[in-house]
Amino acid sequence: MSVLLSEEERALRDTVRSFLDKKIAPLVSDHEQARTFPWDLLAELYQFGYVRGGVPESLGGDELPMMMQAILMEEAGRCWGSLRTTLNVQGMVARTLAAAGTQAQRDTFLDPVMAGQRFGWFGLTEPDAGSDAGSLRTRARREGDGYVVNGSKIYITNALGCDFGILFVRVIEDEVDRGVTALLVDPAESSFQVRDIPHMPLRSTTSCELTFDNTYVPAENVLGEIGGGLSLGMKAVNAGRLNMAMGAVGLAQACLEESIRFCKQREQFGKTIAAFQLVQQMVVEIASLTETSRLLGYHAARTLDAGEPGRYECSMAKLYCGESAGRAATLALQLHGGAGLMEESPVERYFRDAREATIPEGTSQIQILHLGKALLGHSALR
């Protein structure tokens, strides 16, 4: 795939991969076992364009082309799923703040995020509003100089590790539903409950339930326009889909590399298993899935860089890359046999993390419905 990248893009890929292999990869096993995350190291990664890449230079960001951001997310996915999803969420938070934040909000939230001094969660999903984001039930009722929030969010990544969040609610003013709106929620001024929900993949992240019971949020913490929250959130989600897709490509690449390494050293029946036809068939399938996934991801990124909306391309990449990563991880585990089931083997982690790739930022089935509507002109949802 190097022939599809410019010299600058190849240099970025090689530099980031070297840094991750040397600085982050040796820490993964211990953090996975302890279910912890090295938050203090994130700022070092921002020098390459993580998180700051989606923010305009005029606001202090790096304003990287989506192609470069895609390369960054692939390398993060190749290294560690928990790192990839953490960087993805922080990038979505930064992108949203840059798109709609006031100067005061950028000073308080965006600038510290880009400096690695603050971390934010992205609160969209609810118990009864996942794929159907427009049916949010969390309410923010205008009272005095602020809003009183009631409701709950669920499966919010790293809410326990972050010190503020972007919360999507329905604003009620004078008994009128003004629509979905984004609020900046800082626990220093707004009290709410956070509960971690133990989960299978990405063990160094938290997946949280947030409960708001008459939580006060100052009016100056409205992010963007009243009623403009759903549009704002979906713009971030579209980029998030590409990031998820490229993270899945990186995971598939890791499966391929580990499978090749293992098959060349594992011996059975007097020779390495790399010489067996069925083993070669599985390795070739992993390689083919990885390469085709990368092509779709690159195409989506180039489409966005060309100024196109890219919703179709990002949905297709998210669908194919996520499903392919799951297949690649299954094959990698099968190639390792019993060893692949052990936590000391990296493919055990790849297998768990790959299962997550088909769900956040829109399940595979939702992506199919988006693509079906684009192709056929009819919505299967409404």
User: How far apart (Å, rounded) are the C-alpha atoms in residues 247 and 30?
Assistant: 21
For residue 301, how far is the Cα from the chain centroid?
A: 15
- Residue 82's CB is within 10 A of a number of other CB atoms, namely 25
Return all residues near 259 (Cβ < 8 A) that are at least 6 apart: 282, 283, 286, 331, 332, 335, 336, 347
- CB of 223 within 8 A of CB of 96? yes
Active site residues: 361
Residue 124: closest CA among 188, 171, 182: 182
User: How far apart (Å, rounded) are the C-alpha atoms in residues 153 and 311?
Assistant: 25
Residue 71: closest CA among 49, 56, 38, 93: 49
Residue 124: closest CA among 311, 365, 362: 362
User: How far apart (Å, rounded) are the C-alpha atoms in residues 298 and 67?
Assistant: 7
What SS3 class is residue 48? Answer: helix
User: How far apart (Å, rounded) are the C-alpha atoms in residues 298 and 310?
Assistant: 12
Residue 73: closest CA among 240, 247, 239: 247
User: How far apart (Å, rounded) are the C-alpha atoms in residues 54 and 124?
Assistant: 20
User: How far apart (Å, rounded) are the C-alpha atoms in residues 285 and 4?
Assistant: 21
H helix runs in 35-80, sequence order: 42-45, 66-79
Show the CA angle centred on residue 87, arms to residues 51 and 232, nearest 5°. Answer: 65
